[in-house]
């Protein structure tokens, strides 16, 4: 059973009397509102509120978000009104609770009806207005998935499916790896129990076989890093999540011997410089596997993930993956956008105010894609079919990063083309495009850009409008809508 003490003890931000008082007051208020209510599991309803708040605390959110998590089901499931919550806890907490309540009304079914699409639109609107609403919703969904065996088999399937298709990609896009992995594995467990059981057995067996090798690798790395006076903040063994392992095995005909990152060692060091020094020491001690070094520090993933990955032949010849990162990178990998609330706590007084203001700007910048999505929704108007298709492509699929010749980073969905790239830079660059280069080599305009490539768009001063044929291969909604807008203006469609 979860208690309010568990929530408070798992806070990652500084606790002061005001914050503690706020959380305890929210707990007392929710406890009274939910009195007599029980979950399908037979637990008191307040257990769900506490579990949601605990999930929120674990990823580093502050007392107002935790208070809202404790109160999130009160307006919907009790006689207490939102106005009463606002009177007791203020406008900010009431706004977050209201946002979560509204998201709770969304049911993601396979229907393409207008109401379904409008609800999806509302979800992204809520995300752009206050990201804390969606963070609480993810924490709420995680506890619901953990207790999913208490609902009917039919409902179980529906909830697991919408979790895998909607909530997991959102957690991934926000960089909250800890919640994303748990949601994926729980969905996998209910959607495909046979494969889940099979992969779980393989994972446990293989990890057990590699355990001694991992322990020895940790021992030897500690010794080598100490010799070179590299400070280790943390070093531990890790294993791949079950669903990610299943997807990787699918790519290799279900052959576990072709999966090189099943298990490994994660090394956390103080600075970026020590990450690269550690990489050199790892390669000096253990033979690296050719072509298996990934530097996500110099080229982060689109959701902000940073780390160095290298695959080595460890002790006893066992293949292991070594991940090297700083503490900040680790927190951001685990907690994503929520980690900004932790790091804004690191300084006090006026400096802390400036730090927090800077972090708020970073959060807004990182969520620029949500703003773009909202603007695109306005451009589309009531075209629900294109909204759904674009959403699946631009939000729920993997993304790549490409560079301009000046070194600016452009975030694009997989299989994006130079024309998509051009329109991301500026609509005029897209309209005037006549050719493209990828890493200084000429490529066709329907070329599929690879992660990390430098793209140069060749333009013409005379050309002022897009080519109608581009609509056949462009991938981004921004490119499609801009091209259509210009073609309609010229009476070409």
User: How do residues 317-361 score in pLDDT, each as one tens digit?
Assistant: 888 999 999 999 998 888 877 676 656 554 433 333 333 344 444
Query: What is the pTM for the complete model shown?
Result: 0.75
**Pick from 86-95, 202-211, 216-225: least confident:** 202-211
- Condensed to tens digits (0 to 9), the pLDDT of residues 182-196 reads 999 999 999 999 999
Q: How far is CA 329 from the centre of its chain?
A: 14
* pLDDT mean over 349-375: 46
How is residue 304 written in tokens? 């902000």
Is residue 340 within 8 Å of residue 362, measured between CB atoms?
yes
- Residue 383 is a catalytic residue: no
Query: Per-residue confidence at 268, pLDDT binned at 50, 70, 90?
Result: very high
Is residue 75 within 8 Å of residue 29, measured between CB atoms?
no
DSSP 399: E
What are residue 295's DSSP bridge partners?
A: 308
Residue 122 above 70 pLDDT? Answer: no
DSSP state letters, 75-135 = HHHSS--HHHHHHHH-HHHHHHHHHHHHHHT----S---HHHHHHHHHHHHHHHH-HHHHH
Considering the chain, what percentage of its residues have pLDDT values greater than 90?
Answer: 51
Burial of 385 (0-12, 13-18, 19+ CB in 10 A): exposed
Average pLDDT, the chain: 84
* pLDDT mean over 361-384: 53
Query: Per-residue confidence at 66, pLDDT binned at 50, 70, 90?
Result: very high
* pLDDT mean over 220-237: 95
Query: Per-residue confidence at 409, pLDDT binned at 50, 70, 90?
Result: confident
Of 129, 85, 84, 123, give the one whose Cα is nearest residue 105: 123
Q: Which residue out of 76, 228, 316, 428 is catalytically annotated?
A: 76
Q: What is the pLDDT of residue 365?
A: 46
Is residue 40 within 8 Å of residue 150, measured between CB atoms?
yes
- 325-359 b/e (C-beta count within 10 Å ≥ 16 → b): bbebbbbbbbbbbbbbbbbbbeeeeeeeeebbeeb
- Residue 76 is a catalytic residue: yes
Query: Per-residue confidence at 70, pLDDT binned at 50, 70, 90?
Result: very high
Q: How far apart are the first and last CA of the chain?
A: 62
* pLDDT mean over 367-373: 55
Q: What is the pLDDT of residue 73?
A: 94
Q: Which residue out of 77, 92, 295, 379 is catalytically annotated?
A: 77
Domains and CATH numbers, the chain: 4-191 (1.10.3210.10), 193-338 (3.30.460.10), 371-489 (3.10.20.30)
DSSP 150: G
- Helix (H/G/I), strand (E/B), else coil: 289: strand
- Select the more confidently predicted residue: 470 or 489: 470
How is residue 48 written in tokens? 């769900």
């Amino acid at each position: 059973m979860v208690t309010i003490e568990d929530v408070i003890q798992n806070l990652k931000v500084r606790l002061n009397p005001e914050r503690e008082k706020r959380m305890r007051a929210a707990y007392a208020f929710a406890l009274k509102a939910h009195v007599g209510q029980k979950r399908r599991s037979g637990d008191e309803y307040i257990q769900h509120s506490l579990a949601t708040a605990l999930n929120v605390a674990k990823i580093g959110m502050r007392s107002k978000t935790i208070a809202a998590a404790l109160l999130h089901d009160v307006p919907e499931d009790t006689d207490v009104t939102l106005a009463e919550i606002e009177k007791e806890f203020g406008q900010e907490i009431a706004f977050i609770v209201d946002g979560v309540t509204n998201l709770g009304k969304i049911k993601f079914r396979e229907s393409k009806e207008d109401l379904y699409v409008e609800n999806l639109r509302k979800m992204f609107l809520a995300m752009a207005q206050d990201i804390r609403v969606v963070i609480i919703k993810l924490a709420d969904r995680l506890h619901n998935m953990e207790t999913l065996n208490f609902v009917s088999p039919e409902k179980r399937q529906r909830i697991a499916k919408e979790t895998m298709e909607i909530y997991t990609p959102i957690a991934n896009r926000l960089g909250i790896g800890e919640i994303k992995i748990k949601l994926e594995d729980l969905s996998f467990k209910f959607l495909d129990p046979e494969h889940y059981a099979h992969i779980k057995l393989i994972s446990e067996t293989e990890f057990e076989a590699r355990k001694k090798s991992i322990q020895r690798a940790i021992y030897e790395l500690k010794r080598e890093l100490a010799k070179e006076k590299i400070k280790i903040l943390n070093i531990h063994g890790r294993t791949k999540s079950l669903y990610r392992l299943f997807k990787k095995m699918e790519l290799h005909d279900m052959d576990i011997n072709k999966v090189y990152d099943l298990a490994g060692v994660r090394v956390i060091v103080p600075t970026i410089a020590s990450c690269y020094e550690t990489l050199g020491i790892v390669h000096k001690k253990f033979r690296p596997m050719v072509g298996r070094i990934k530097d996500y520090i110099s080229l982060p993933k689109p959701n902000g993930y940073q780390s160095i990955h290298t695959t080595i032949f460890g002790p006893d010849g066992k293949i292991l993956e070594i991940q090297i990162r700083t503490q900040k990178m680790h927190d951001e990998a685990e907690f994503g956008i929520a980690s900004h609330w932790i790091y804004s706590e690191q300084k006090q007084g006026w400096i802390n105010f400036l730090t927090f203001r800077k972090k708020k700007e970073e959060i807004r910048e990182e969520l620029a894609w949500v703003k773009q999505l909202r603007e695109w929704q306005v451009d589309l108007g009531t075209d629900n079919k294109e909204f759904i298709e674009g959403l699946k492509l631009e939000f729920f699929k993997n993304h790549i990063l490409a560079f301009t010749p000046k070194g600016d980073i452009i975030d694009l969905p997989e299989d994006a083309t130079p024309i998509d790239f051009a329109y991301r830079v500026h609509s005029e660059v897209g309209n005037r495009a006549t050719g493209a280069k990828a890493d200084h080599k000429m490529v066709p305009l329907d070329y599929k850009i690879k992660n990390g490539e430098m793209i140069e768009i060749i333009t013409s001063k005379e050309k002022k409008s897009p080519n109608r044929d581009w609509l056949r291969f462009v991938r981004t909604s921004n490119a499609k809508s801009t091209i259509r807008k210009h073609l309609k203006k010229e009476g070409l469609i």
